[in-house]
Structure 1
Amino acid sequence: MTDEILKGKLAFLREAEQLKDVLRSAHTSSGRQESTAEHSWRLCLMVLVFEQELAGLDLQKLLKLCVIHDLGEAIHGDIPAVSQAAHPHKSEQERADLLQLTRSLEPSLRDSLLGLWEEYEAAATPEARAVKALDKLETLLQHNQGRNPENFDYGFNLGYGRRYTSATPLFQTLRELVDEDTRRHLGQQATEA
């Protein structure tokens, strides 16, 4: 391994640090906006926690997909789930941003990271579909756990990501449990209104 390859990897890691400052629309339980890096961290944690239930899937690939899935957001930021329909070119922008972010890496590593992102984006494998489902569930968990503004749209949660969370009995059951929390929040909002 040459010094130039190592310098390129360090340059990439310095740029990827931007993901720590990319804020999402979700709030933490203390009321501050969460970062995309925090979301990705808990997504990785979910894979580890549900490792037994995900038996038969490649754990290393699951974790790689979790780490890479939102990495392109380091450049142009996150588009909140409630606004994604208004951004039909989101995927193309994220891909371009990921290419920019990985430009200092040697081609084989850059292609590997881009390949993981493309696999996730296309939900092309059982691992990618599992990470898609967990990604949606993590978002819903944060919506329900966070100290949100009074006008937070909990109703959005009930339809969000169903395409992926309906894919297996595990994800269906997790979804039902998370939806119970959402309905509780909706009930509380109704009584406070």
Structure 2
Amino acid sequence: MKAIADLLFEAKILKNIPRTGFAFLGAGRESVAEHSFTAAFIAFVMSRMEPEVNGQRLVSMCLLHDLPEARIGDLNYVQKKYVTADEDRAIADVVENLPFDNDIAELLAEFNSQQTREARLAHDADQLAFILDLKSISDVGGKTPEKWLPVVRKRLKTELGKNLAEAVSTRSWDAWWMETYAE
């Protein structure tokens, strides 16, 4: 139980680790845990839209995909040009002594390899979480997302991901409540 308690504390630390890409965007902020929740929720929705996929694997990959950042931090695209993180070692250290060590390691390896339908959808959920942030910032007057949105949309790998990005792009961030708002 000690190793499991340690894992829970390690996952919790992601609430305190900021996503570093927002500094380059010039607006917004988010913790790694907040991002992972949004990606996992998008994955849940995707699993209902494509019931033939293994929804538990899809959601689990999104929930876990940034767990190594508890040890290596959140390296953005600029930092990754200069800093090489040993994610494999971080994962090995995270799962050491866990009774389900292979489960976590296999899910992260599957996510990183992008060889399965679930992994490609998980990748898109990860990107869609960022697209939601960019669209929200844009809708409240931020200008830099206009440059970023096309770049992030090009990263999408699945038709479902592309369709969801299109739907997000054509809706206002507050339409979900504003359309029914009554004074």
Which TM-score band applies after superposition, normalised by the shorter structure?
Answer: 0.7 to 0.9
Contact in 2 for aligned 1:43/1:66 (Cα 8 Å): yes
C-alpha RMSD of the superposition: 2.8
Find the counterpart in structure 1 of residue 18 from structure 2. Answer: 23
Distance 1:150 1:52 in 2: 32
Q: 1:114 aligns with which of 94, 97, 105?
A: 105
In structure 2, the CA distance between the partners of 1:85 and 1:8, relative to structure 1 (3 Å rule), is closer
Gaps of 5+ in 2: 172-183
Contact in 2 for aligned 1:26/1:146 (Cα 8 Å): no
Per mean C-alpha deviation after superposition, the further-off stretch among 146-155 and 32-41 is 146-155
The structure whose residues are more often strand, as a share, is 1
2:30 counterpart SS class: strand
Find the counterpart in structure 1 of residue 35 from structure 2. Answer: 39
Deviation at 1:68, TM superposition (A): 1.1
1:51 counterpart SS class: helix
Q: 2:81 aligns with which of 74, 83, 86?
A: 86
Distance 1:172 1:74 in 2: 30
In structure 2, the CA distance between the partners of 1:154 and 1:95, relative to structure 1 (3 Å rule), is farther
Higher relative contact order (CA 8 A, sep 6+): 1
Deviations 1:111-146 (A, max 9, x none): 221111010001121101100011111111112214
Q: Does 1:55 align with 2:47?
A: no
Q: 1:7 aligns with which of 2, 7, 31?
A: 2
Distance 1:179 1:84 in 2: 28
Deviations 1:143-189 (A, max 9, x none): 221489967353122122524x2422x222222234457xxxxxxxx
In structure 2, the CA distance between the partners of 1:151 and 1:78, relative to structure 1 (3 Å rule), is farther
Q: Does 1:162 align with 2:154?
A: yes
Q: Does 1:126 align with 2:117?
A: yes
In structure 2, the CA distance between the partners of 1:131 and 1:84, relative to structure 1 (3 Å rule), is farther
In structure 2, the CA distance between the partners of 1:166 and 1:126, relative to structure 1 (3 Å rule), is closer
Find the counterpart in structure 2 of residue 77 from structure 1. Answer: 73
1:50 counterpart SS class: helix
Contact in 2 for aligned 1:158/1:179 (Cα 8 Å): no
Gaps of 5+ in 1: 1-5, 182-193
Q: Normalized against structure 2, the TM-score is what?
A: 0.77
User: AA paired with 1:67?
Assistant: L
Q: Normalized against structure 1, the TM-score is what?
A: 0.73
Q: 1:143 aligns with which of 130, 134, 146?
A: 134
Find the counterpart in structure 1 of residue 161 from structure 2. Answer: 171
Contact in 1 for aligned 2:61/2:122 (Cα 8 Å): yes
Q: Which runs of 4+ in 1 moved over 3 A?
A: 87-90, 146-154, 177-181
Distance 2:69 2:95 in 1: 13
